[in-house]
Amino acid sequence: MAFVSWSCNDQCTETRISRRLTPISRPLAEIRSSVRAEAAHSLKKPGKMYVKGNYLFINEIKEGIHIIDNSNPAAPNFISFINIPGNGDIAVKGNILYADSFSDLIALDISDVNAPKEVGRVNNVFQTGQFDGVWWTMTAPNAGIQDNAITDYKVEYVTETISTNCEENIMYPIFNSATAMSFSDMASFGGKSASSSSNSGGTSGKAGSMARFALHDNFLYTVSQSSLHLFNISKPSTPSNFSTINLGWNIETIFPYKNRLFIGSSTGMFIYDNSNPSAPQQLSVFQHGNACDPVVVHDDIAYVTLRTGTACAGTQNQMDLVDVSDASSPQLIRSYQMQNPHGLSIDFPTLYLCEGEFGLKIFNAEDKMDIESKLLAHFKDMDAYDVISLGKTVLVIGKDGFYQYDASDVKNLRLLSKIPVSK
């Protein structure tokens, strides 16, 4: 971003904020040996959240997972931290927690939440990924590194004032890196109103709408930028790489609902028949303009948000309602303009929608043709990235921390607790 001042002699100064990317190469052997349980950490850069029973699992972007005892939502208690380099997503089935660690999928036994331990790993299943809007890649051995390595980037924002010609076009972002990315693509948060298994015997937890991990039957589904990966978890502690389905490009989220998988991408929503969990079959694609789009579903309606200000290069800020009663031919019901919609959750008829820096909105979605006039509440003094409704309790996460609300009266949510970001 550039800010300008000038004088009568046509000499201007600009204050520019540039994003500098410093490449960092780490041997995979070093990364793999770094997974370990540690004492509780403070929350600094919260990512995705996952809830199972009385426990919360909050991702610290690219660093690991906080385990929190939430048996008393008014006083959540940090128990431990699992150091996992390159972690962005979470899923839990029984006493096994699944997490990504750059290129690998790992399984951790959390029977003792004070001392989680790695029990399984599938190596080299994810070849690329994205944090802070910047790609990391897995590279082959070279002269200086005897093992496969991860090339990642340290992201820094630098402010500097420079002199310019006043006639220059100044309103543009500046890049001082090998990879040019939009300045507005700030740190990304990258695991029924939440992604969950519909046939897991109550042993799995719930994720938010931004999840890239989903559980169903004896399978863990993960989406990378271009593929759907199936992992066989019939033996939970020893996941195995089962199959890979190519989806295209810019795949973002996955939401399982009944016998369907709803997969969000930057250009549309994929619907897969999951009647046979070992072999999902594509039924259709609902296309839209370029935009990031998490999806949640209730009955025959999919709720899809599209937003600008991301690497998806979107131009729309809206929520689409899509009729998926015929999953082979989804039809747009209506689009509603929003400010900058992110994650969402449906506890019908209550719809919770995150608006990023503009807070959290709550709608009555009973009349699908008239949702915008049924705004029940708008909580503005918060940053809302994703939300999970648990009936009488609502969980919200954003750049400034983690919130829990009593939702007995959805028009007047009552704050139970907040875990602020530590500076």
* Predicted local distance difference test score (pLDDT) of residue 336: 95
> Has residue 199 got a pLDDT over 80?
no
Contacts of 215 (CB under 8 A, 6+ apart): 91, 93, 196, 197, 200, 204, 221, 233, 256
* Predicted local distance difference test score (pLDDT) of residue 380: 92
CB 44 within 8 A of CB 185: no
CA 169, CA 416: separation in Å to the nearest integer? 49
* Predicted local distance difference test score (pLDDT) of residue 352: 98
Note the pLDDT tens digit of each residue in 20-41. Answer: 899 999 999 999 999 999 999 9
Q: CA distances (Å), 82 to each of 18, 34, 354, 356, 383, in order?
A: 33, 10, 28, 27, 25
User: What average pLDDT does range 233-262 have in this prediction?
Assistant: 94
For Cα atoms 223, 224, 227, give the angle at the middle one, nearest 5 degrees: 75
Note the pLDDT tens digit of each residue in 41-55. Answer: 999 999 999 999 999
Residues of the chain above pLDDT 90, percent: 69
If we measure between CA atoms, which residue out of 359, 407, 349 comes closest to residue 73?
A: 407
Note the pLDDT tens digit of each residue in 343-383. Answer: 999 999 999 999 999 999 999 999 999 999 999 999 998 99
Note the pLDDT tens digit of each residue in 111-129. Answer: 999 999 999 999 999 988 8
* Predicted local distance difference test score (pLDDT) of residue 356: 93
| Half-sphere exposure of residue 24: CA atoms within 13 angstroms, side-chain side | 13
CB 176 within 8 A of CB 16: no
CA 8, CA 126: separation in Å to the nearest integer? 56
CA 16, CA 273: separation in Å to the nearest integer? 49
Tell me the β-bridge partners of 284. Answer: 271
> Has residue 104 got a pLDDT over 70?
yes
If we measure between CA atoms, which residue out of 252, 256, 274 comes closest to residue 264?
A: 252
Tell me the whole-structure pTM to 2 decimals: 0.86
| Half-sphere exposure of residue 227: CA atoms within 13 angstroms, side-chain side | 12
- Going through 276-317 in order, the beta strands assigned E by DSSP cover 281-287, 295-298, 301-306
CB 23 within 8 A of CB 151: yes
Residue with tokens 């052997």: 29
* Predicted local distance difference test score (pLDDT) of residue 184: 30
Question: How would residue 225 be classed by pLDDT, with cut points 50, 70 and 90?
Answer: confident
- Residue 94 carries which side chain, given as an amino acid letter? G
The SS3 of residue 28 is: helix
CB 265 within 8 A of CB 252: yes
Largest CA distance in the chain: 75
Residue with tokens 């082979």: 328
CA 97, CA 238: separation in Å to the nearest integer? 11
